[in-house]
Amino acid sequence: MAYNKIEEYVGNNDVSGKKILVRVDFNVPMQNGQISDDTRLRAALPTIELLSKKGAKTILLSHFGRPKGKVEPSMSLEPIAHALAKLLGKNVGFAADLKGEIAKSAIDKMQNGDIIILENSRFYAGEEKNDAELAKEVAALGDIYVNDAFSAAHRAHVTTEGVAQFLPSFAGLSMARELDHLNQALGTPIRPVLAIVGGAKVSSKIDLLENLVTKVDYLAIGGGMANTFLAADGVDVGKSLCEKDLLDKANEIKAAADKAGCKILLPVDVVNSKEFAPNPPTRTCKPNETAADEMILDAGPQTIANLAAIMEQAKTIIWNGPLGAFETPPFDIATVEAAKTAGALAKAGRLVAVAGGGDTVSALNHAGASSDFTFISTAGGAFLEWMEGKELPGVKALEAK
């Protein structure tokens, strides 16, 4: 899908003095009133710096927390304005409303190159309802709309979708970078493509698996969800995490994979324990040798070696979810080893490796492999919906018409 990019637009057009509404995701984690992880602020810097340098008036829009349509002072974006100013080394203004006189007069006072944040969009109930009136009022504050928040693009809200209906709309630099990499991994990938999907449950990833089997050449299933697939093959998985009500669904997914020519790879050996605790006694065996009182908590060395051999042939890897209970040692080994192999191949330029989804990011950080991957999405829900093959409303709104 082709979409408009702000970087190209400012390269060909004078934006000095233009009021540019930029949707960012400043929903950062806080602990005791302090930002505990400023990744999302940093992600927005390239777009903000570019627009400011070109003399535009940059007006930032974001949600923060879940105030449910009411003004909730503890969820104000004002402290974020201070944190952003520090990162930019430049003053960042703040208007205590998303629209109306307060927003208008603050914007009227802006000089070319200035940056301002408008108050939490979710203080208005219309935001999450994608209310057209609210969208019109917010759009009236600017000349151009930029969305730089891929992580919020799976939602059709006023600031992610509605405003785009009233203004020329573009992808910010972070959004464009994310879309380009995701497209490289699953849109028009170089084959063979290997998808690695792990994590706890099949139930949360049915749509994702159904989409992937139609798109990739190999699908390696790991983690707790592999147990459900093994059980569907008639393997007794003992006390392992297993969704017995999804055995038919697992068989349907296997049949769909066969039909589409996608090879599903399940663990051929597993690491078991009677206790789910750090460093308990463990036993490595074939899945069907699992005892009635054991749990499968990680993939074994033969499975890791088989996966590495497929990675050697692959040109693209797309990864979501850990291959074992990686937070509890030693059940992190399969995830760590596979992440290191994928990272090393990506770093050597042998393949494209893209990963994403909440636990995946922490698992790859734990493996020390994150910086070697081609791209890691921190988008969570939006990344998963994209892996499910869904159209994201916030991205569709940026489509080149």
Query: Taking the complex as a whole, how short is the minimal distance between the CB of residue 366 and ligand AMP, in angstroms?
Result: 11
Q: How many other C-beta atoms can be found within 10 angstroms of the C-beta atom of residue 50?
A: 18
By CB under 6 A, residue 325 contacts ligand AMP: yes
381 catalytic? Reply is: yes
Judged by CB under 6 A, how many residues of this single chain contact ligand AMP? 16
- Give yes or no for residue 388 binding ligand AMP (CB under 6 A): no
Residue 289 DSSP class: G
Q: Both tokens of residue 397?
A: 């709104």
Q: Is 17 a catalytic residue?
A: no
Asked if 325 and 276 touch (Cβ cutoff 8 Å), the reply is yes
Residue 206 CB, shortest distance to ligand AMP, in Å, is 12
Residue 129 or 340 having the CB closest to ligand AMP? 340
- Whether residue 318 contacts residue 196, with contact meaning beta carbons closer than 8 Å, is answered with yes
Residue 70 annotated in active site? no
DSSP state of 292: T
- Between 92 and 317, name the residue whose CB sits nearer to ligand AMP: 317
Q: Under the criterion CB under 6 A, does residue 201 sit at the interface with ligand AMP?
A: yes
Cβ closer to ligand AMP: 71 or 276? 276
Q: What does the longest C-alpha to C-alpha distance in the chain come to?
A: 72
Range in contact with ligand AMP (rule: CB under 6 A) among 13-21, 66-74, 199-207, 308-316: 199-207
Tell me which residues in 257-296 interact with ligand AMP (CB under 6 A).
296
Cβ contact 381:314 at 8 Å: no
The residue within the footprint of ligand AMP, chosen from 93, 322, 343, 394 (CB under 6 A), is 322
Q: How far is CA 379 from CA 82, 249, 335, in A?
A: 24, 27, 20
DSSP string of 188-211, one letter each residue: SPPSSEEEEE-SS-SGGGHHHHHH
Question: Considering just the CA atoms, what is the radius of gyration of the chain in Å?
Answer: 23
For residue 356, state whether it binds ligand AMP (rule: CB under 6 A): no
Name the token pair of 99.
Answer: 């629209």
Give yes or no: 40 in active site: yes
The DSSP call for residue 5 is B
Q: Which of 106, 297 has the CB closer to ligand AMP?
A: 297
Residues lying near ligand AMP in the complex (CB under 6 A): 199-201, 204, 223-224, 241, 296-297, 321-322, 324-327, 359
**Catalytic residue list:** 40, 201, 358, 381
